[in-house]
Amino acid sequence: MSDSQAALEAIRTGYTFDVPALDLGSAIDGDTVVTEARVRLPLGMLNRHGLVAGATGTGKTVTLQVLAQAISDAGVPVFAADMKGDLSGMATPGEGSEKLLARTSANGQDWAPAASPVEFLALGGEGTGVPLRASVTSFGPLLLSKVLELNDTQESVLGLLFHYADAQGLALLDLKDLKAVLTHLTSDEGKAELKSIGGVSSASVGVILRSIANLEAQGADVFFGEPEFDIADLLRTAEDGRGIVSMLELPAVQNRPALFSTFLMWLLAELFETLPEVGDPEKPALVFFFDEAHLLFRDASKAFLDSVAQTVRLIRSKGVGIVFVTQSPTDVPDEVLAQLGSSIQHALRAHTPKDAKALKATVETFPITDFDLGALLTGLGTGEAVVTVMDPDGSPTPVAPTRVFAPASRMGPTDAPVMEQMVAGSPLQAKYGEAIDRESAHELLTRRYSEAEAQPEPADSPANAPRTPDASTTDPGPADTPPAPTRQETPTRIPTPRRAPRQRAETASAPQESMFEKVVESQAFKQFTRTAAREIARGIFGTGRRRRR
């Protein structure tokens, strides 16, 4: 038996399971498709997570579409983010062109056009979809710090401010609530309360407020608020038993990449907080596709990366599988990559020394094999991939060069009028379509200041004491002229803090760091916060699902 025949026999044996499994494609031997050597993925192993990677244009989106459709057909709900709009084609049956039918026939695929049950979502209603919103409290300080691009010190400050608002019963539902709390604590009226939680310099508050203003300028304020999306709505099945594909439309991801990727992480954190422990079920409760995964990990703090790794490690016992989709395995931190049981690697390019280094690192992520993976990965065609998955016993399957099946749905966007009609007819539109602005921190603080200004000054108050005019600068006027009023009426408002000075890096005249910030930056405090954060934060990411009022 030749080496090639031995490899094909290992693939046949290694991908033959006596449990429910999804068909990914057929093995290839050079340019030949071996239709009897089917490459499959056990359904029960999906909650051991996976990776779909490859250079641009190599077929990652189509592979994601094939997987999502097969998972839905197996009765498992799916969540997927549609970064480029192509994935929306899952809602429309495919078209059997001559070229497509020739490929599917050669691949041993029994192809027939079919659409999947799709629910379109859109962050805050931006785009075509049912609005998906989250409250600021639910989002939590750690995830919000990632969106606001805060450093470690500012992230710690924001965590304390969340803790203060929670203790004071000041609900943080949208960004104006968070701004109101920040403004209050840096005003004359709030300085005493600020001092009680450690004190924060005006520079730190200024940075946070400016970051919030930048986020609002990008239109992101519509993403925060109520009604907040109920995670249970991701776990539905259609009347025919297929899992509903919840598809988040992200047409402007290039404008707010950190916000979009962090919103996806919020969904995972909420799933972790909400779902019960189920161990290793026969099939997962949900499979979550995390496209453009590199956006999540770019410039992330150590605390954030630790929380992502912990979520990925623990959420599998909740019956949730995560599939990260990105260009290279090196885009994913080692702590996360080590927990991914399945790998579908499309072609990589090695045109630069950096590409060659990434190729070498990718090869090292695969089990030992007789294939020359470096040559194989750079020579794959569009729609071809190198696959290894976790078998039902928890062992990796043989490395299998694979020609991936074609999706039964359209490979391209669903027509806009069809999408709009589907959204209008969705039962979720009535539940989430209209935003709600109930009483929260902004309204409570505004009322507090209104009531304070309405209170009369005490008779012995300095403000009511007689004023002695300065004869050198004041014209006494006629003897019967009434005295000038001692207090001028002002409209109700939340006091605005003084303009925050620029940071030290911007100008030499910046204020010195407060004692609080010096402590925060110390190694002792960082070690302490690793333990204290578990008490202050609510859940892995400080989300507020369990404490929500």
DSSP structure string for 7-65: HHHHHHHHT--SS-EEEEEEEEETTEEEEEEEEEEEGGGGGG-EEEE--TTSSHHHHHH
The Cβ-side half-sphere exposure at 226, using a 13 Å CA radius, reads 13
Q: Parallel, antiparallel, or unpaired for β 21-29 and 286-290?
A: unpaired
Q: Given pLDDT bands bounded at 50, 70 and 90, which one contains residue 71?
A: very high
Q: In the predicted model, what is the mean pLDDT of residues 344-369?
A: 90
C-alpha angle 272/274/279, rounded to 5°? 60
Residue 161 lies in a domain: no
- pLDDT score of 199: 59
Q: Is the pLDDT reported for residue 432 higher than 90?
A: yes
Residue spans of beta strands (DSSP E) within 89-201:
118-123, 130-132
**What domain range is 372 assigned to?**
7-95+107-133+226-425
- Evaluate if residue 285 carries a pLDDT over 80: yes
Of residues 300, 333, 331, 332, the one with CA closest to residue 149: 300
Query: Looking at the domain assignment, is residue 254 inside a domain?
Result: yes
Note the pLDDT of residue 464. Answer: 54
| Position 269 in a domain | yes
Q: What number is the average pLDDT over the span 317-322?
A: 94
CB 41 within 8 A of CB 389: yes
Burial label, 13 (beta-carbon count in 10 A; 0-12, 13-18, 19+): exposed
SS3 338: coil
Q: Any idea what DSSP says for residue 472?
A: T
State the amino acid at position 384 in one-letter form. Answer: E
pLDDT in tens, 364-394: 989 988 889 999 999 999 999 999 999 999 9
The rounded radius of gyration (Å) of the Cα atoms in the chain is 29
Within a domain: residue 242? yes
Least confident of 177-191, 288-302, 471-485: 471-485
Cα–Cα nearest to 82, from 237, 318, 322, 248: 248
* Tokens describing residue 67: 């997987």
> Mean per-residue pLDDT for 82-93?
90
Q: Which two tokens stand for residue 298?
A: 């770019």
- pLDDT tens, residue by residue, 5-58: 888 999 999 999 999 999 999 999 988 999 999 999 999 999 999 999 999 899
Please state which of the ranges 340-354, 355-369, 386-400, 461-475 shows the lowest mean pLDDT.
461-475
In a domain, 170, yes or no: no
291 or 383: which carries more pLDDT confidence? Answer: 383
Going by C-alpha positions, the residue among 383, 401, 295 that lies closest to residue 343 is: 401
Q: How high is the pLDDT of residue 472?
A: 42
Cβ neighbours of residue 208 under 8 Å, at least 6 residues apart?
Answer: 148, 150, 154, 157, 158, 182
Tell me: pLDDT of 342 over 70.
Answer: yes
Residue 513 inside a domain? The answer is no
Question: For residue 82, what is the enclosing H or E element?
Answer: strand 78-82
Q: Per mean pLDDT, which range of 189-198, 232-241, 404-413 is the poorest?
A: 189-198
Distance CA 402, CA 29 (A): 9
Cα 7 off chain centre by = 40
Q: 130-132 and 118-123 as β-strands: parallel, antiparallel, unpaired?
A: parallel
Closest CA to 300 of 323, 332, 255: 332
Range picked from 89-103, 193-207, 215-229, 451-465 for highest mean pLDDT: 89-103
B/e letters for 113-150, b = 16+ CB within 10 Å, e = fewer, are eebbbbbbbbbbbbbbbbbbbbbbbbbbbbbbbbbbeb
Residue 492 in domain: no
Distance, CA of 525 to CA of 518 (rounded, Å) = 10
pLDDT greater than 60 at residue 226 = yes
The answer on pLDDT for 74 being more than 70 is: yes
Q: pLDDT at position 156, please?
A: 86
Weakest-pLDDT range from 330-334, 429-433, 462-466, 501-505: 501-505
CA distance linking residue 407 with residue 14, whole number of Å: 24
Question: What pLDDT was estimated at residue 427?
Answer: 93
pLDDT of residue 21: 96
Residue 218, H or E segment: none
Q: How far is CA 87 from CA 12, 79, 277, 409, 512, in A?
A: 31, 12, 31, 10, 51
Q: What is the CATH number of the domain that holds 49?
A: 3.40.50.300
User: What is the pLDDT, as a whole number, of residue 160?
Assistant: 86
Looking at residue 276, its pLDDT comes to 92
Report the mean per-residue pLDDT for the chain.
Answer: 82
Domain count, the chain: 1
Q: What value does the mean pLDDT take over residues 117-144?
A: 91
- Residue 371 inside a domain? The answer is yes
pLDDT band, very low/low/confident/very high, at 509 (cuts 50, 70, 90): very low
Question: Partners of 386 in the beta sheet?
Answer: 345, 401
Q: Which two tokens stand for residue 440?
A: 């929260």
What is the spatial distance between Cα 91 and Cα 421, in angstroms, rounded to a whole number? 12
Contact (CB, 8 A) for 228 and 134: yes
pTM of the model: 0.80
